[in-house]
Amino acid sequence: MLGTWQVDSYKQDGADNTTIFLATYTNYQIMFDASNNYIETYTFAGANITNAGPWELTNGGDDFELTNQSDGTKRYFQIIELNEESASISEDSGTKEYHLLKN
């Protein structure tokens, strides 16, 4: 997962909601570094948003979790497919699916 990624497509409950995601989370990027920290940035309703904190592979490397350093909330993701330039991940028991491209 190392590197900086952007959302190429997004599905919610099986429906393609890419256009809505990209319009809502403008300039979305997430960066994972080798020190197991992440920085997620985007613009939402005109406000620049940054979430950051540690990330960790779990479940033998099949999943990962993000912990927001500002409030301690955790988000859990399943890795569907991962290679050098793209990744498919899901969140919320598969109801949200993201296809990511490395910048």
Question: What is the overall mean pLDDT for the chain?
Answer: 97
Contact 76, 63 (CB under 8 A): yes
Per-residue pLDDT at 64 exceeds 90: yes
pLDDT in tens, 23-54: 999 999 999 999 999 999 999 999 999 999 99
**Domains, the chain, ordered by start:** 3-102 (2.40.128.20)
User: So what's the pLDDT on residue 1?
Assistant: 86
pTM for the complete prediction? 0.93
